[in-house]
Structure 1
Amino acid sequence: MNVFFEDSGSFKAGTVLSRQNETLQVELLGGRRIKVKGKDVLLEFSAPTAAELMQSAETCAQTIELDFLWECAGTDEFNFAALAEEYFGMQATSVERAALALRLHSAPVYFRRKGRGQYQRAPEEQLKAALAALERRSQQAALQATYEAELTAHRLPAAFEGKVLTLLTKPDKNSIEHKALEAAASACGTSVAQLILDCGAIPSARALHESRFLAEYFPHGIGFGPAAAYSEQPAESMLAERPATEIQAFSIDDLSTTEIDDAFSVEWLANGRLRIGVHIAAPALGIARDDIIDLQARTRLSTVYVPGDKITMLPAALVDTFTLKEGGLRPVLSFYTIIDSATQDIVATETRVERVFIAHNLRHNLLEATVTAEAIAAGEGAYPYKKEIAVLWPFAQALYEKRQQARINYGLKRETPRHADFNFAIEGESVSITPRRRGSPLDLIVAELAILVNSSWGALLAKYGVPGIYRAQRAFGLNRTRMQIGPAPHEGLGVEQYAWSTSPLRRYIDLVNQWQLLACVQHGVAAKLVAPFKPKDVDLYAIVQNFEDTYQAYADHQNRMERFWCLRWLKQEKRKRVLASVIKGDLVRFDEIPLLLHVPGLGVHARDTKLWLDILAIDELNIEVSCRLSQVLEVSETQENLTGDAAASCA
């Protein structure tokens, strides 16, 4: 005896070996033996064999026309065997009955299962809707297959036009386009991004990296909307009310800097004293808390910098009004310090709101090679504000030494000189990378005067009990710089408090602190009552949290794009071999460009050991470069080899 039965949602046939009560021992077609409950048996038959029945039933099932079967079924619940007699006739064979069961079970759109062998046909309206959905899915599958074929052949389907960046940054994973991209990329053995690049849908890997960042942090575009129009009419009359001084100030920035936040001045007083002025752009005079520009700036929180480009925190018209460009009176918040030129000691300080004439914008790029420590000491060279720089340089050195002593008092070592910074110049898809030496006189003057101002103005806020946003760092513990509401030592810098205040055109924290400082300067002891942000203002805490997260994201993007351009430079210069220095373990720093890299299998080498590395592969899409150790230079031979091997590195 053979049986046709249901098991785990499918139909099987086998030979009965034994029967005990309602349980059958059945041998399946492959020889495996199982127990089958009597209630699961749909047919018992002696002929044909179980194997023949299944083969014949499956063939027969394909001949059963579903629409006609649905018509025959009627509206009531039915047993498959009864419908088999209706469809095939009263003498329906076991093969035909099994075939009908298979067909019913394979068509859930037409027939709903109601129990073992029991079914009911779908209502007509639901059937039509389901069939229409199946047709749509069929058409979509055919369309997806067409897309996949084109993508696999590295052709972008016409339907993808205008959708590429969305598919790469914020895809709808249920869309046909996304599914086709995923399938085609898998078939090509590559990533979706690389496939899109291979199809020519984006101009370069650079465009992809930039688009991903913009999609996340500037989803509505980089324009300012209504804020741009609002800032085109600054309160000129209000700014003109500020007292004007006779001081001639100058700034020191890179050539590419347009948001010039700070400028300097020097006045010679009696008794060997000097009045040194640090003049900070004052956009807080033209922006009110919660106005349309403030709300925009509070969303951006900082200017975004990447090689060759930037996205400003403030609208261009407002920046143009307050930036310290040369050739006119500019509104500023000035910090003055009177010093003894013989000892470099600070005698007195003062903060004013005023207008200062910016006579000149000096540029690092043009002066750094001329304005050296040796040239200043010898009085050599011809450049603007030579006399002023000659007195600012020893003052900056004195400030630096005082900070180093403070670090030592906090239990820290002296600051380690930084490696050279680099300037990136982008033209189209080409890049020029040039070193900028840290610790040069101009660099130290700007850095030390900024630290002095930020520390002094942090103390001014604390003096009047006006809340500000401070950066603090402890020498021990996590040693992490944190932002907080209220003063605390920044032991890493060697100052008692530190409140960012010198870049209000570029950082929202500085703008907030400038509002608070203006209240201190203009209202003195009453500042606590009139400052835009009062003690325990919840917005201050929200600004701190949002700023830290956003500022870090911007920095990560800048680092990512600098790394991208370093890889582009290697390809552009056709470098097959580069000189690098060991930092620690297998981490190295390239000497010619600001690129850090882990080199697997590097071995153990002392810090600053010079190495020649072979460039094996460069991947701009994933911003990765693969290198292999070529040669380790001994200290004695390093200088000899640098010149001779430089030409070979370009081969």
Structure 2
Amino acid sequence: MNVFYEEDGGFKVGAVLADNTTSLQVEAPHGKRSKIKAGTVLLKFEKPALSEFMEQAQHVADELDADFLWECSNQDEFGFADLGLEYFGHAPSTVEAAGLLIKLHGSPMHFYKKGKGHYKAAPEESLKAALASVERKRLQALQQAEYTAQLTGFSCPEALLPQINMLLYRPDKNTIEYKALEQACHDTGLTPPKLLEKCGAIPSSHDYHFNAFLFEHFPKGIEFGEIGEFDIPQDLPESNVSAFSIDDATTTEIDDAFSLIHLPNGNWQVGIHIAAPALGFGPGSRLDEIALERLSTVYMPGNKITMLPDALVNAYTLEATKSCPALSMYLEIESADYSVVSSVTRIERVKIAANLRHDTLEPLFNEDTLARGGPDYPFKKELGILWELANRLEIGRGKQGSNIGTDYSFVVKDDRIAITDRKRGNPIDKVVSELMIYVNSRWAKMLSEKGVAGVFRSQFNGKVRLSTTPGKHIGLGVDQYAWASSPLRRSMDLLNQRQLIALVRGEPAPYASNSEVLLGAVSDFELASEAYNSFQRNMERYWCLRYVLQEGINEASATVLKENLIRLDTLPLVTRVPSMPELPPGTQVQVALSNVELLDLAFGCEFKHRIELQ
């Protein structure tokens, strides 16, 4: 005797070897023996042969129409034998009954299983919905296959174009568009960016990187929308000084400027003037929300995303010929040794006489011209005194000569890149940095001594951190330090400026030491700063690689940093050279450059030879 039984959600047949009433020992057509429960047996048969039964039953099932079977059944639960009698017009043979069971079991949209050999026809509305779903999936499968075919033929389907950013940066793996792209990548052996680029869907490698950043950090776009109102105070006292700023040629958010006058006692008064946008809007305003959302200006070669809207920046930037609201610190400097005698902080308006720019100032104000006297130029005397003061301040911090190395400037014009190097610690940089370090550390001390909360920057054991508690900054050599000199570009400076203004005015500070605004801003800023700096580094690497292609650079000299890691001598490009032998750090080598990949920000680098220094 043979049996047709159900096991593991499917049907099987076997020859009965032993019948133990509640269980059976059976042997499958391929010889495997197993023990089954008697309750799983649906049919018993002698013919046809065991080896032929399932094939014949499947043939019967294939001939049956699920829709017609559904129409033949009523809405009540039924046994398969009853439906077989009605459908076939006679008591079904075991093959017919098995075929009917296979069909019922394989049509879950039409029939719901209710028990051993029992089913119930699906309600009409449920069946229509299920069939519609199947049809939809069928059409989607056809559409997906069509998309895949187009992509593997290096043509981008029109329907994918509005979804390119989603597919590249945050794909929904359940969509047919992603599945089609994934299959096409598998078939072509290309990554999604490479394939979409080849399909013409990524016309700009620059925009690929830029849009990835926007997609992650500016999903609503970089436009400000409604910014609300802000004030421009007109009742501030006018300073009697004439100030000048020193910035890169592309700087529009001019935060700081300097002034110098000779005092009757023979000493010098040095003014450090910081733009004061905190006077224009307060905590909780729409502009404040914007500043705490963006947290800082985002920089990249040839472009930037400002923290604050142009209207506010234009009102408070220290622009030449304007009288600008400022938070000023005045230092009285001993004329003999440039030591600081005293300092005072004021809220005022300051006349800005000039905006000096690095590219035009540096040829005139540098170490050579300072040593030789050099030609005459605007603010020569003032810059010379500020240079002496900067040297005195650097020595006072115990950091003389610590700021060495090379900085690079990137200028993008008409989609071409110019990269120039500048010696770090030159007179321009030293004057600006030393005066900024001084004013930030002094204002941090003011906040700390008066018990006014602030956002402080400290460094200990090599770790730099922001907190609402002041601490030593070992790297700068100061007892406390707070960012306060770039309120147009950093939210931390803006928050500190509000606290300082309140302190100078003798008013309650806007933020307490346990302020959720301060604590939240510190946490958010650190995350944003890491992301913004990473993006800036990536875009600088991108433009370095564009420069390599633009200038047709095939070989370059480089310096070994460690192991097989090198840095090119003329570009801020760092890479590993697997083919390079083990050489000590600082060794000069010649390398060959090849296979620049702008989407991956990668390039090939092969060791040529060691450069022997003369």
The TM tier, using the shorter chain, reads: over 0.9
CA distance in 2, matches of 1:276, 1:23: 102
Q: CA deviation at 1:348?
A: 1.1
One of 282, 290, 303 as aligned partner of 1:309: 303
1:398-437 mapped onto 2 (5 Å cutoff): 398-404=392-398, 416-437=402-423
1:120-159 mapped onto 2 (5 Å cutoff): 120-159=120-159
Q: CA deviation at 1:467?
A: 1.2
SS at match of 2:330: strand
- Judge conservation of contact 1:371–1:381 (CA < 8 Å) in 2: no
Match of 1:286 in 2: 280
Match for 1:319: what amino acid? V
Match of 2:343 in 1: 349
- Judge conservation of contact 2:273–2:328 (CA < 8 Å) in 1: yes
One of 534, 539, 558 as aligned partner of 2:512: 534
Residue 520 in 1 paired to residue 496 in 2?
A: no
SS at match of 1:481: strand
CA distance in 1, matches of 2:402, 2:116: 81
Q: TM-score, normalised by structure 2?
A: 0.95
Deviates most, 543-552 or 195-204: 195-204
Q: CA deviation at 1:89?
A: 3.5
Match for 2:472: what amino acid? P
Deviations for 1:507-530, whole angstroms, at most 9, x for unmatched residues?
Answer: 11111111111122222xxx4xx2
Q: CA deviation at 1:271?
A: 5.5
Match for 2:532: what amino acid? Y
Match for 2:127: what amino acid? L
- Judge conservation of contact 1:249–1:359 (CA < 8 Å) in 2: yes
CA distance in 1, matches of 2:259, 2:83: 102
Q: CA deviation at 1:272?
A: 4.7
Match of 2:229 in 1: 230
Match of 1:390 in 2: 384
- Judge conservation of contact 1:15–1:28 (CA < 8 Å) in 2: yes
SS at match of 1:145: helix
Match for 2:283: what amino acid? R
One of 424, 431, 435 as aligned partner of 1:438: 424
Deviates most, 77-86 or 119-128: 77-86
Match of 1:462 in 2: 448
CA distance in 1, matches of 2:26, 2:604: 62
CA distance in 2, matches of 1:558, 1:390: 34
Deviates most, 281-290 or 614-623: 614-623
Residue 614 in 1 paired to residue 587 in 2?
A: no
CA distance in 1, matches of 2:173, 2:98: 41
- Judge conservation of contact 2:455–2:522 (CA < 8 Å) in 1: yes
Q: 1:379 to 1:175 in 2, by over 3 A?
A: same
Q: TM-score, normalised by structure 1?
A: 0.90
Deviations for 1:252-296, whole angstroms, at most 9, x for unmatched residues?
Answer: 111000111111122223555221111111111212222221121
Match for 2:245: what amino acid? S
- Judge conservation of contact 1:85–1:91 (CA < 8 Å) in 2: yes
Deviates most, 292-301 or 266-275: 266-275
- Judge conservation of contact 1:2–1:45 (CA < 8 Å) in 2: yes
SS at match of 1:71: helix
CA distance in 2, matches of 1:71, 1:446: 88
Deviates most, 50-59 or 493-502: 50-59
CA distance in 2, matches of 1:295, 1:417: 36
- Judge conservation of contact 2:84–2:91 (CA < 8 Å) in 1: no
1:164-563 mapped onto 2 (5 Å cutoff): 164-227=164-227, 230-231=229-230, 234-235=231-232, 238-239=233-234, 241-270=235-264, 272-404=266-398, 416-474=402-460, 476=461, 479-523=462-506, 527=507, 530-563=508-541
Sequence identity (%): 44
1:83-122 mapped onto 2 (5 Å cutoff): 83-122=83-122
CA distance in 2, matches of 1:131, 1:400: 79
Residue 42 in 1 paired to residue 42 in 2?
A: yes
Deviations for 1:360-415, whole angstroms, at most 9, x for unmatched residues?
Answer: 1111122324422122021013432111111111211121122126xxxxxxxx77
Deviates most, 555-564 or 35-44: 35-44
Residue 33 in 1 paired to residue 33 in 2?
A: yes
CA distance in 2, matches of 1:605, 1:271: 61
Deviates most, 151-160 or 291-300: 151-160
SS at match of 1:183: helix
Match of 2:15 in 1: 15
Query: Aligned pairs, how many?
Result: 614
Match for 1:315: what amino acid? P
Match for 1:534: what amino acid? A
Deviates most, 125-134 or 567-576: 567-576
Q: CA deviation at 1:129?
A: 1.8
Match for 1:230: what amino acid? E
Q: CA deviation at 1:244?
A: 1.8
Match of 1:640 in 2: none
Q: CA deviation at 1:126?
A: 1.4
Deviations for 1:130-187, whole angstroms, at most 9, x for unmatched residues?
Answer: 1122122222222222222222222222223433223333444433323322332333
Structure 1: gaps of 5 or more residues: 406-413, 637-651
Q: CA RMSD in A?
A: 2.0
- Judge conservation of contact 1:259–1:319 (CA < 8 Å) in 2: yes
